[in-house]
């Protein structure tokens, strides 16, 4: 194996890469979810009237519910992203203040 010099001058041996042994759970969950969405869309084809603010029209029920679900997922994800960024920023500020005070 190749040895890589560490930052303090010592030699470090990298660990060999391990082959993946877990099932691809993300792919399995996505496939099951997509299958459920397809079944849902096929079963809910009746047309419904929609009124939102000044707009009105008709659309298949499955499309209305799917668009609502996607919009909900997008807004939930964005809320989580903003929350994590704010929490990370506060934690970094706290650590910097602790460092400046000498409370390491």
Assign 3 to helix, strand or coil: coil
- Residue ranges making up the domain that contains 78: 60-104
Question: What is the distance between the alpha carbons of residues 25 and 31, in angstroms, rounded to a whole number?
Answer: 10
Decide if 28 is inside a domain: no
25 within domain boundaries: no
Using a pLDDT cut of 90, give the percent of the chain over it: 4
At residue 2, the pLDDT reads 56
Instruction: Determine contact, residues 2/14, Cβ cutoff 8 Å.
Output: yes
In a domain, 92, yes or no: yes
Per the domain annotation, does 74 fall within a domain? Answer: yes
pLDDT bucket at 70, cuts 50 / 70 / 90: confident
**Residue 24 maps to a domain:** no
Q: What total number of domains does the chain contain?
A: 1
Q: 94 lies in a domain?
A: yes
C-alpha distances out from residue 103 to 32, 46, 92, 98, Å: 50, 65, 14, 5
- How confident is the prediction for the chain on average, in pLDDT? 79
CA distance 10 to 27: 42
Judge whether 100 lies within some domain. Answer: yes
> Could you report the per-residue pLDDT of 28-60, keeping only the tens digit for each?
887 898 788 778 878 888 999 988 888 899 998
60 neighbors 45 (Cβ within 8 angstroms): yes
Domain assignment present for 97? yes
């Amino acid at each position: 194996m190749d040895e890589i010099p560490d930052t303090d001058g010592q030699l470090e041996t990298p660990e060999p890469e391990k082959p993946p042994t877990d099932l691809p759970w993300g792919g399995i969950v996505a496939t099951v979810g997509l299958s459920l969405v397809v079944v849902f869309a096929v079963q809910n084809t009746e047309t419904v009237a929609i009124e939102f603010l000044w707009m009105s029209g008709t659309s298949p029920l499955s499309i209305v519910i799917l668009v609502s679900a996607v919009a909900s997922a997008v807004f939930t994800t964005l809320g989580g992203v903003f929350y994590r960024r704010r929490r990370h920023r506060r934690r970094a500020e706290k650590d910097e203040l602790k460092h400046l005070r000498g409370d390491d």
